[in-house]
Amino acid sequence: MPIRSAVLLCLALAACSSGFGQEERSVAQAVEPSLRAAAAAAEANRDYKGAVQHLTTLYQRREDDRDIGVALARNLRYGGQAQAAADLMQAQLIRFPGDGDTLVEMGKAYLAADRLGLAAKALEQALAVKPGRWDAHMALAVVLDAQGQANEAQSAYGRALALSPDNPAILNNLGLSLALSGKLDEAVATLSRAADLPTANAQIRQNLALLLALKGDAAQAEKMARQDLPPEMARSNAEILRALAAGAAHR
């Protein structure tokens, strides 16, 4: 059975259930901390399928726990089940009308499902309730970029950075947004700032390498790219970067 169908079935069963008996309730309470710990460990290890299994079991028993619902939706989204995550959060809003955390996760799920209009609506509603959520500002910025609203997107990234300064994820997305809108020098400076942070990941460095090549700096682009790639891939990537840099030099 697909994960989405399994989750919806769990919701239906929970809605129709008359509740646990005392003995069953005691057992459920005893195993709940272990399930929570197992779900957290699975998510940390990027075992999203395992996390969904543990969280689904918890959600069957604790559908009134908003945080479990949000965690389940998040792991469905991470595991490629974005629409199922959005459906789950839509159902949760019936129990928790206007809940900011539920709306944020629903917006991210709709974004991952490429339903940009619904994503924007959910994220705007979320920010009306929780304006301090930098991740909601960043998600909305991604939506705006995808809709071709570069200036509005960059303003949203700015609001996210004001709440979470030197956040490499925000800087990475802002750098790419600037590049897409033709501000290549500013984009390279922004991604260089992100790449210098201790928490920067390989994707940020590869994005910077690409922008350096587009700017015509093949040597720096190759140097950046080689930091994370195995030798054979680095050689292949270097050829692409040199070609991009050569093209940039002739523009």
pLDDT computed for residue 237 by the predictor: 67
The model's pLDDT over 53-104, given as tens digits with 9 standing for 90+, comes to: 999 999 998 889 999 999 999 999 999 999 999 999 999 999 999 999 999 9
Closest CA to 130 of 163, 101, 106, 170: 101
The total number of residues written for the chain in this structure = 251
Looking at every residue in the chain, the average pLDDT score rounds to 86
- Report CA 120 to chain centroid distance, whole Å: 15
pLDDT band, very low/low/confident/very high, at 15 (cuts 50, 70, 90)? very low
pLDDT computed for residue 12 by the predictor: 42
The model's pLDDT over 181-240, given as tens digits with 9 standing for 90+, comes to: 999 999 999 999 999 999 999 999 999 999 998 888 888 888 888 888 777 776 676 677
d(CA 9, CA 208) in angstroms, rounded, equals 45
Closest CA to 111 of 69, 88, 141: 141
Say if residues 212 and 204 touch (Cβ distance below 8 Å).
Answer: no
The answer for residues whose C-beta is within 8 angstroms of residue 81's C-beta and 6 or more apart is 3, 4, 52
Among 11-20, 165-174, 196-205, the range scoring the smallest mean pLDDT is 11-20
* pTM for this predicted structure: 0.82
Q: Where are the domains of the chain?
A: 177-250
